[in-house]
Amino acid sequence: MPTAAILSQGDEVVTGQTVDTNAAWLAEQLTDRGLLVVRHVTVGDRKPDIAAALRALAAEADVVVCTGGLGPTDDDLTNEAFAEAFGAPLALDEVALADLEAKFRAFGREMAPSNRKQVLLPRGALRLDNARGTAPGFARVHEQRLVACLPGVPHEMRAMYLGGVVPLLDALLPAAPGRLVTLRTTGLGESALQDRIGTFVHPDAVLGYRARTGEVDVKLRFRAGASDDVVRALVADVAARVGGAVYGVDGLDGKVGSLAEAVAAALLARGDTLAIAESCTGGGLSALCTALPGASAWFLEGCVTYANDAKVRRLGVPAALIAEHGAVSEPVARAMAEGVRAGAGATWGLAVTGIAGPDGGSDDKPVGTVHLGLAGPSGTEHRRVRLFGDRHRIQALAAHTALDLLRRRLA
Amino acid sequence: MPTAAILSQGDEVVTGQTVDTNAAWLAEQLTDRGLLVVRHVTVGDRKPDIAAALRALAAEADVVVCTGGLGPTDDDLTNEAFAEAFGAPLALDEVALADLEAKFRAFGREMAPSNRKQVLLPRGALRLDNARGTAPGFARVHEQRLVACLPGVPHEMRAMYLGGVVPLLDALLPAAPGRLVTLRTTGLGESALQDRIGTFVHPDAVLGYRARTGEVDVKLRFRAGASDDVVRALVADVAARVGGAVYGVDGLDGKVGSLAEAVAAALLARGDTLAIAESCTGGGLSALCTALPGASAWFLEGCVTYANDAKVRRLGVPAALIAEHGAVSEPVARAMAEGVRAGAGATWGLAVTGIAGPDGGSDDKPVGTVHLGLAGPSGTEHRRVRLFGDRHRIQALAAHTALDLLRRRLA
């Protein structure tokens, strides 16, 4: 399997001022073509470090993609480092210079002398045009191996990768991407999933896990050429082992991106609508829903009834119920769900009340105690859970657990 | 200057399924203590690659921090790779095992056999307790140099770094961090800020920018020994150049973490309360507020009035107003703010209505059009803004812009 490596360069990346989204984007692109990405390296704006990294990665991987360091300022050193690494002296590229001058004219600006260094390209390298910015990139093809240098600005980098690097890769290493199927799950941790699935060894597929807040993806990457029957049988087998925690399968017959998407699809299919009453999640449960384009087709309203008085006034929760059981209790969760459902005229009313912490817990109701209520056409159900983590995590998990209660009811 | 390197491991990172936010966070922490971060490396779940990277980085840098690969599954290989890299055979750590078993008991769950591998630690390594999750980390101190292995889950990693690694670093390499003062700003982009501040050259300080959604931090890093007078004078100078976009200064006389924190502090100081009515932000504005511990002292309620009917019923917005001007309009934003203020009996009513996209825009009201209303003791004000980006970004920017309207009114 051909291998790839990614080099990011820049003081702003190595010191953590910028999160390196370029590396992740490139890695996904390269992986999707069937390349095995073996390494990312990030170094600062020091020429010897860049040159050494280019040399080491070019020796290790079939394809090396480098981002950053093509700008006009003193700390932009990629072309000089490349020249040093591969013994390819820099020379002025007349076509690139004409293009750069034309771009400045089009902006109505004078080209600064410092921009000339951007069109000094290593001898023997292929120029990669920059459709989105000033600096051209360049690539070296040597013994069927590729080293490409792209700008660091993400949208320029992506356009140059797609327009300049992909054609080179198509010529050198025709894509053999295999197939990726993702089982999206919620409600089980990574180790609980692994215990259910057991050891997975199969000649046609590799299995991996990816945890997100409140959700874990089980990823099956099939080798190129695995038959559709094999893919479906293996996916069905793994899904059966996991059970009801699977809320969607992505990459088999369609796309499922998140738990909220799965709930939205189920509501839309039935023509149902949803109203939410939330306390400890503080708007986060509604936000999970309204993050989806087109949410207005099924999401009617949310009530962030943080104060007790708001629960009474907005949702019609009897004040006596709160006084007797406390705001974080089964009767209040039920009354919130029924109240918001009735008020909004929705098919479903979903309610969350709990203690997100760090304060407010007690022996009886420790931080992380959450009561969920779901009111629907055939009555109201309740669930109590205990969640762990800091405030942010408890809020996020509570929102996911509430959505999952609805998802299972709709299933 | 002592050097540091960061190793991230995991197929999900090297293949680009996950953006590596851990590396950026760690790089910033290490830089802030005065270490020179020279390199980040990412490798997949292959033991020889991890071991080779650990060895190479430990030879290159004084401090190496590794994240990921401490979980219970077969692809979690960090302890084995570490053992191989440094000739430190694995042994069961009884304290860690007892801690792990206690955690499972507290969750009311059976510990799976696969979890036992998490407490096999390299001989001679220091155990780093995991306050937030199951897997302990570990660290090796050898000839005044440190290699620390932390979990990949961000909140576990951060807690372990702060609680376990920082004390070790304090002992090995007392921080000479100088002093970091951050001006937190909102409402201006990075290049607009740069234009206002101009060229910044000073023997005692370096200036940098860090953009977050809807906010930009202006960071002034002072050399160790810079006098308090110099620090205050420079901070005041930069703040004056930026103007009203500065909502707080962190590291001078106190801590200001976010725009919501600044608003919360201002409300608390006045004994004021807030109620929110939001449409296009869908709960996100309320969630920004309720993310703060103790929000119940000033946040009364939020109404996510997504459907027009909810605006009428919950907030008393006249249906005729919506029919005449549309839901995304100045009169409706004002009526929403006044309605939620009156209903909740809050000092302030803050409302947002807009078009987050990707659909729903028109020539007259393109995607990104947002109307804000703020009702208070002395009347109601309105602001119309045009925001740019995808749905997620428009929602986040709209929530920040609304909070900033309130912040400026309270100032």
- Over the stretch A130-162, which tens digit does the pLDDT of each residue have? 887 788 999 999 988 999 999 988 888 999 999
Q: How far is A199 from chain B (nearest CA, A)?
A: 8
Query: A8: which strand partners?
Result: A42, A67
Give the span between the Cα atoms of A42 and A49, in whole angstroms: 10
A-interface mutation test, from B14, B118, B199, most A Cβ less than 10 A away: B14
Q: Nearest residue of B to residue A16 by CA position?
A: B24
Decide if pLDDT at B156 tops 70. Answer: yes
pLDDT band at B177 (very low <50, low <70, confident <90, very high): low
**What confidence score (pLDDT) does residue B191 get?**
67
Q: How far is B5 from chain A (nearest CA, A)?
A: 9
Average pLDDT over residues B129-138: 88
Q: Which of B37, B291, B294 sits opposite A15 (nearest CB)?
A: B37
| Inter-chain touch B301–A304, beta carbons under 8 Å | yes
Average pLDDT over residues B194-206: 83
**What confidence score (pLDDT) does residue B152 get?**
92
| Inter-chain touch A37–B26, beta carbons under 8 Å | no
Decide if pLDDT at B189 tops 80. Answer: no
Decide if pLDDT at B313 tops 90. Answer: yes
**What confidence score (pLDDT) does residue B61 get?**
96
Chain A contact set for B345 (CB, 8 A): 309
pLDDT band at B309 (very low <50, low <70, confident <90, very high): very high
- Please report where in the chains the tokens 């987050």 appear, as a residue: B356
**What confidence score (pLDDT) does residue A368 get?**
95
Q: In what order do the strands lie in the sheet with B215-222?
A: B205-212, B215-222, B179-186, B246-250
Q: Which of B18, B306, B343 sits opposite A299 (nearest CB)?
A: B306
Decide if pLDDT at A17 tops 80. Answer: no
Decide if pLDDT at A120 tops 90. Answer: yes
- Mean pLDDT is lowest, of A175-189, B141-155, B229-243, for A175-189
Chain B contact set for A314 (CB, 8 A): 301, 303, 314, 343
Chain A contact set for B358 (CB, 8 A): 293
- Please report where in the chains the tokens 């738990």 appear, as a residue: A259
- Mean pLDDT is lowest, of A344-348, B50-54, B114-118, B229-233, for B114-118
Q: Which of B208, B307, B313 sits opposite A17 (nearest CB)?
A: B208
| Inter-chain touch B27–A15, beta carbons under 8 Å | yes
Close Cβ partners of A375 (under 8 Å, ≥ 6 residues apart) = A334, A337, A338, A340, A341, A348, A349, A350, A351
Chain A contact set for B16 (CB, 8 A): 23-31, 37
Give the span between the Cα atoms of B54 and B48, in whole angstroms: 10
Start-to-end Cα distance in chain A: 41
Chain A contact set for B151 (CB, 8 A): none
Give the span between the Cα atoms of B136 and A275, in whole angstroms: 42
Close Cβ partners of A183 (under 8 Å, ≥ 6 residues apart) = A217, A218, A219, A220, A235, A238, A239, A242, A246, A248, A249, A250
Chain A contact set for B12 (CB, 8 A): 208, 210
| Inter-chain touch A304–B310, beta carbons under 8 Å | no
Helix crossing, A330-344 with B308-315: angle to 10°? 120
Give the span between the Cα atoms of B271 and B267, in whole angstroms: 6
Chain B contact set for A306 (CB, 8 A): 290, 295-296, 299-302
For residue B318, cis peptide bond before it (omega within 30 degrees of 0): no
What tens digit of pLDDT does each residue of A298-320 get?
999 999 999 999 999 999 999 99
Q: Are A237 and A275 in contact (CB under 8 A)?
A: no
- Measure Cα distances from A406 to A114, A315, A410 in Å: 60, 19, 6
| Inter-chain touch B304–A309, beta carbons under 8 Å | no
Phi, psi of B303 (to 5 degrees): -120, 115
Decide if pLDDT at B208 tops 90. Answer: no
Q: How far is B292 from chain A (nearest CA, A)?
A: 8
Residue A11 CB burial class (10 angstroms; 0-12, 13-18, ≥19)? middle
Q: Nearest residue of B to residue A35 by CA position?
A: B15
Q: How far is B325 from chain A (nearest CA, A)?
A: 19
What tens digit of pLDDT does each residue of B348-404 get?
999 999 999 999 999 999 999 999 999 999 999 999 999 987 898 899 999 999 999
What tens digit of pLDDT does each residue of B99-112 get?
889 888 887 778 88
A260 Cα distance to chain centroid: 15
Decide if pLDDT at A274 tops 70. Answer: yes
Decide if pLDDT at B322 tops 70. Answer: yes
Which run of H or of E encompasses B341?
helix B330-344
Q: What is the mean pLDDT of chain A?
A: 92
| Inter-chain touch A309–B296, beta carbons under 8 Å | no
Q: How far is A92 from chain B (nearest CA, A)?
A: 30
Q: Which of A41, A195, A284 sits opposite B283 (nearest CB)?
A: A284
Q: Are B384 and B370 in contact (CB under 8 A)?
A: yes
What tens digit of pLDDT does each residue of A93-111 get?
999 999 888 888 887 777 8
Torsion over CA: A367, A369, A375, A380 (sign): negative
Give the span between the Cα atoms of B116 and B91, in whole angstroms: 11
What tens digit of pLDDT does each residue of A172-196 get?
987 776 788 999 999 888 878 888 9
Q: What is the mean pLDDT of chain B?
A: 92
| Inter-chain touch B283–A299, beta carbons under 8 Å | no
Close Cβ partners of B311 (under 8 Å, ≥ 6 residues apart) = B277, B279, B305, B317, B322, B327, B332, B336
**What confidence score (pLDDT) does residue A389 get?**
83
- Please report where in the chains the tokens 């909102």 appear, as a residue: B186
Average pLDDT over residues B334-345: 98
Decide if pLDDT at B282 tops 90. Answer: yes
| Inter-chain touch B303–A299, beta carbons under 8 Å | no
Output DSSP code: residue B369: E
Give the span between the Cα atoms of B279 and B351, in whole angstroms: 8
Decide if pLDDT at A254 tops 90. Answer: no
pLDDT band at A28 (very low <50, low <70, confident <90, very high): confident
Chain A contact set for B24 (CB, 8 A): 13, 16-20
Decide if pLDDT at B17 tops 90. Answer: no
| Inter-chain touch A43–B38, beta carbons under 8 Å | yes
Start-to-end Cα distance in chain B: 42
| Inter-chain touch B293–A391, beta carbons under 8 Å | yes
Alpha-carbon radius of gyration of chain A = 27
- Residue type at position B319: A
Q: What is the dihedral of CA B107, B111, B114, B116, to 10 degrees?
A: 100
Q: Which of A302, A195, A237, A243 is nearest to B286 (CA)?
A: A302
Q: In what order do the strands lie in the sheet with A137-142?
A: A126-128, A137-142, A145-150, A63-67, A3-9, A36-43, B36-43, B3-9, B63-67, B145-150, B137-142, B126-128
- Concatenated DSSP letters for B299-310? EEEEEEE-SHHH
**What confidence score (pLDDT) does residue B379 get?**
97
Alpha-carbon radius of gyration of chain B = 26
| Inter-chain touch A306–B307, beta carbons under 8 Å | no
Chain A contact set for B283 (CB, 8 A): 278, 283-290, 302, 304
Q: Are B217 and B248 in contact (CB under 8 A)?
A: no
Residue B225 CB burial class (10 angstroms; 0-12, 13-18, ≥19)? exposed
